[in-house]
């Protein structure tokens, strides 16, 4: 029996509330659990992120459709990480999620 390559990510999704016309604030956040496959971070990508000052801890691919403007944090292996980027793939239905440093 082999291990399943998928892991569970808990994303903290915040909603934006319009306080006044044209003025938005972050409202309540809800938790969304998704299944994702951990990917390798290539050395060139890791070096570029360190030059930019935004280190990458882990990289995942998932089939979920996620709005990148609402996700700020993710819980993985019991720790809370800042989400660096969420990039939808143009070739298939996958979304790439990159996690940054611990919060």
Q: Which domains does the chain have, with CATH numbers?
A: 6-102 (2.40.10)
φ/ψ (deg, to 5) at 53: 80, 15
Cβ neighbours around 44 below 10 Å, total: 8
Average pLDDT, the chain: 86
Tell the residue number behind the tokens 């998928």, with chain if given.
6
| pLDDT tens for each residue of 3-43 | 668 899 999 988 888 888 888 887 788 888 999 999 988 88
Check whether 2 has a pLDDT greater than 70: no
**Six-digit token pair at 34?**
């998704």
Check whether 59 has a pLDDT greater than 90: yes
For position 5, what pLDDT does the model report? Answer: 81
Could you report how far apart the first and last alpha carbons of the chain are, in Å?
A: 36
Closest CA to 83 of 49, 65, 64, 59: 59
Taking residues 85-94, what's their average pLDDT? Answer: 85
Check whether 80 has a pLDDT greater than 70: yes
Global pTM reads 0.80
């Amino acid at each position: 029996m082999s291990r399943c390559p998928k892991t569970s990510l808990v994303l903290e999704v915040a909603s934006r509330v319009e306080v006044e016309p044209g003025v938005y604030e972050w409202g309540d956040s809800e938790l969304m659990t998704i299944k994702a496959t951990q990917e390798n971070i290539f050395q060139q990508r890791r070096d570029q992120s360190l030059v930019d000052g935004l280190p990458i801890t882990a990289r995942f691919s998932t089939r979920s459709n996620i709005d990148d403007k609402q996700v700020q944090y993710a819980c993985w292996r019991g720790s809370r990480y800042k989400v660096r980027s969420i990039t939808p793939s143009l070739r298939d239905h996958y979304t790439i999620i990159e996690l940054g440093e611990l919060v």
